[in-house]
Amino acid sequence: MRKIGNVILDDTCYQGRDLYTDGAIEDEMLEIARNVSPDRFNKVIGEKKSWPILYHFSHIRENILSWMPFTGKEKVLEIGSGCGAVTGALLGGAGEVTCIDLSMKRSEINAWRHRDSEKLKILVGNFQDVEKKLTEKYDYITLIGVFEYGEAYIQSQDPYVDFLKIIRKHLKPDGKIVIAIENRFGLKYWAGCTEDHFGTLFEGIQGYPSTKGVKTFTVKELKKIFQEAGGFESTWYYPFPDYKFPMTIYSDRRLPRRGELNRTEYNFDRLRMELFQESAVYDSILDNDLYPQFANSFLVVIGQDKFETETAYIKYSNERDPRFNILTQICQKPDGSRYVQKLPTGSKAEAHVSNIYDKGQALAPLFEKEKLYVNSCEKVSYGVKLEYLEGISLEEKLDTLLKEGQLDEAESLLFTYLHKAERLYGSQDFKKSPEFIQVFGQAGLPEGLKGGRLADIDLVPANILLGKGKDWVLDYEWTFDFCVPAHFIMYRMLHYYLESDGKRHVLKNRDLYEKAGISREEQEIYAKMEQHFQKYMVGKHIPMLSLYDEISPGKLDVKEYYDRIRGCGDERKLQVFFDRGQDFQERDSFKYPMTRRGLCIDIPVPAGTRRMRLDPGEVPGGFKICRIRWRDLGKAAFHTNGFALGDHCYYFGGGDPQIILENVPREAEILTLELEALKEQEAVKEFWSRFAREENEKNAQIQDLKAQLKQKEAQIHEMENTKAWKLYRKLKPEGKGASSKKQE
């Protein structure tokens, strides 16, 4: 037994070596935990751009538990604490925390990062060995990303049921077990994400046919386990996008609404396929009341009695400068009534949350001019408390109209609220203030803009609630008491509706910005203003999503690939262009259908044709030109933009295949063309094989030329060092330039 700072590290049950490890990265993580304070972890994540470091040190990991209703007196047992990614959330709320983990290295990382805590003890060793020596009873026992390893923890015929039975022995009578685990049927796995533990596609949704040792479960399967383990009552929450990095936590009392589930950047650790647009599928799932079955993750609290807490919904806004980090909760009282509260997630954000009340008071009389209303707000000791309002958001209403194909109605409704914003904030001449520049930067705005004070820049469709007889503005956190252009607020209303979800792109070709009077020049400027505002809001913090492109292996758009392959089949067409003195033009062309195998066709040649261009589709692919000849005139000369594969075969990788006949004979009347479509995979393979071979040959030629050049340079250098050459240089007359320069 030893101590790291104030943390007790008990190695009584440790077997002397770590049975699992991520390798050298753990040594690096130990150095970080030793030498970097927790408030600088985010800076290290931004510098390292490493998945393991992001996963183990991101503060977002704590969101899964930091909202729990701890009173500061609870005793908590955290099983499988690892590097302590969520231990901090427990230490922040509970009275005592005891951790169990098999790895000494990871336990040391946990101890070092929380070394100032006097209420943390870490027991290192196999769970079954450590469990036998536990003497305490706990208010909470947590299994965060652990329950799925039940087979590894417990050697029995029914390990998952037995795991809970063993844990239950260490609970107080009213104690609770908290489980966070992936849903085997999570929508992201159907959409092309790999199974989290094995990295294979569809492994979980197929029932783990080829792997053992780790299992996740569906709602029905987990409920069966809870029942067999002792009739546990369960309360269900649904972290989104998943339990590892939750930014929103839903429950059966407050499920997601249409349009809320539009984040798909889950795959920081592995390449994923993108099989369909998840946000649209989520909307269909929500319409059919199936969300719990397809949520990506579960957070389940089980015990002899139901978990009693008023919290029904949690939304974190803590990827910001610490001054602005907040938590929004929807709470439900025992009588069914609800209220909303906004809380600071740290002391630095207390002033920001307190100001929400003042902003609401100031906005109320302004908004009433346009029959918009602010939900009532009051200050409380821990933040602000707001009225909970029923209705659907303007965003939801617009999405419903789009789904029904009522695009004109959607546009009209959207403009109703755009005009309200314009009237609210277009009453005075806009002038930049120092405060404006601090938040939005030195934007080169055009002259003559109108603006207004008390500018609620978050007056976006998601924050406007269409109630019965009244429209409410739900969120006015980002309200500024200086003049802001009305067009910028309108720009944000359009931008955050059109751009936040792919299913809304159907409106993008309707020139809505221009119809709202926002010129293209303004749009570019407002985009820069928005970037500056985001920097102001984020400060020095590095949001996880900003690292996606640098850490994630990315996505494979399967639909794009499917469309490409489909284009090689029945739906591909040959388009023939005729140049009769005015170059190739769409109006002077014809299209001919192609089969999956290609085509054989006689193409009439109009009089006066000088050149012809044959475009077999507009997607990449390979073709064999079996025949291309003028009737009665013999073979036709041609060139292509394809890569020659030999045997009259060509691969067109650019997506616009072209076969061009430059000099069409005057007497030509018919062109006979026979094309055979090559199999895509074989054509691609042959293309890369030949390309690599040619590239190697060119590189060899270049190296040969470099060697020759080096040899010539050596010969010149050798000659320049001879006595004869030095004598020649002395006797050689200087040119005019040199002579005149001397005279100067």
Q: Which of 109, 122, 139 lies closest to 26 in space, CA to CA?
A: 109
List the structure tokens of 669. Answer: 């009347």
50 and 85: one domain? yes
Highest mean pLDDT among 140-144, 498-502, 649-653: 140-144
Residue 508 pLDDT > 70, yes or no?
yes
173 and 154: one domain? yes
| Residue range of the domain that includes 693 | 684-721
Arithmetic mean of pLDDT over the chain: 91
DSSP 691-735: HHHHHHHHHHHHHHHHHHHHHHHHHHHHHHTSHHHHHHHHHSPP-
Place of tokens 């998840």: 278
Mark which of 64, 91, 124 sits at the end of a domain.
124
Q: Which of 478, 466, 439, 449 lies closest to 356 in space, CA to CA?
A: 478
688 and 660: one domain? no
Question: Whole-angstrom Cα distance, residue 704 to residue 624?
Answer: 35
* CATH label of the domain that carries residue 34: 3.40.50
Q: Please report whether residue 342 resides in a domain.
A: no
Place of tokens 């769409």: 586
Q: Which residue has the higher pLDDT, 697 or 326?
A: 326
Q: What is the pLDDT of residue 451?
A: 96
Residue 680 pLDDT > 90, yes or no?
no
pLDDT digits (tens, 9 = 90+) for 256-278: 998 899 888 889 999 999 999 89
| Identity of the residue numbered 460 | V
Task: Report cis status (omega within 30 of 0) of the bond before 543.
Answer: no
Q: Please report whether residue 294 resides in a domain.
A: yes
Q: Please report whether residue 175 resides in a domain.
A: yes
514 and 591: one domain? no
CA distance from start to end of the chain: 89
622 and 511: one domain? no
- Phi then psi dihedrals of residue 611, to 5 deg: -135, 160
Mark which of 503, 522, 540 sits at the end of a domain.
540
CB atoms within 10 A of CB 19: 9
pLDDT digits (tens, 9 = 90+) for 709-739: 878 777 777 777 776 666 666 666 554 444 3
Q: Are 268 and 51 within 8 A, CB to CB?
A: yes
Q: What is the pLDDT of residue 725?
A: 64
Q: What is the pLDDT of residue 736?
A: 42
Q: What is the pLDDT of residue 655?
A: 65
- Structurally, how many domains does the chain consist of? 5
Question: Whole-angstrom Cα distance, residue 297 to residue 289?
Answer: 17
Q: Please report whether residue 739 resides in a domain.
A: no
Q: What is the pLDDT of residue 347?
A: 94
Q: Please report whether residue 81 resides in a domain.
A: yes
Burial of 23 (C-beta count, 10 Å sphere; 0-12/13-18/19+): exposed
306 and 234: one domain? yes
| Identity of the residue numbered 661 | L
Q: What is the pLDDT of residue 78?
A: 98
List the structure tokens of 318. Answer: 């803590």
pLDDT digits (tens, 9 = 90+) for 566-600: 555 445 788 999 999 889 998 899 988 887 788 89
pLDDT digits (tens, 9 = 90+) for 18-36: 878 888 899 999 999 999 9
Residue 468 pLDDT > 80, yes or no?
no
Q: Are 269 and 56 within 8 A, CB to CB?
A: no
| Identity of the residue numbered 408 | D
Residue 609 pLDDT > 80, yes or no?
yes
713 and 669: one domain? no
Could you tell me if residue 336 is left (phi over 0), alpha (psi between -120 and 50 degrees) or otherwise beta? left
Q: Please report whether residue 241 resides in a domain.
A: yes
List the structure tokens of 110. Answer: 């946990």
Q: What is the pLDDT of residue 571?
A: 54
| Identity of the residue numbered 188 | K
Q: What is the pLDDT of residue 618?
A: 66
154 and 271: one domain? yes
E strands, 252-376, are 272-274, 297-303, 311-317, 326-332, 338-344, 372-374
Provide the 3-class DSSP secondary structure of residue 247: coil
Q: What is the pLDDT of residue 79?
A: 97
272 and 194: one domain? yes
273 and 185: one domain? yes
Mean pLDDT of 643-667: 87
pLDDT digits (tens, 9 = 90+) for 382-406: 999 999 998 899 999 999 999 899 9
Q: What is the pLDDT of residue 106?
A: 97
Q: Please report whether residue 552 resides in a domain.
A: no
| Identity of the residue numbered 444 | G
Least confident of 212-226, 230-244, 492-506: 492-506
Q: Please report whether residue 337 resides in a domain.
A: no
pLDDT digits (tens, 9 = 90+) for 124-160: 999 999 999 999 999 999 999 999 999 988 888 999 9
115 and 247: one domain? no
689 and 639: one domain? no
Q: Are 244 and 267 within 8 A, CB to CB?
A: no
Residues 6+ away with beta carbon under 8 Å from 683: 621, 622, 645, 649, 651
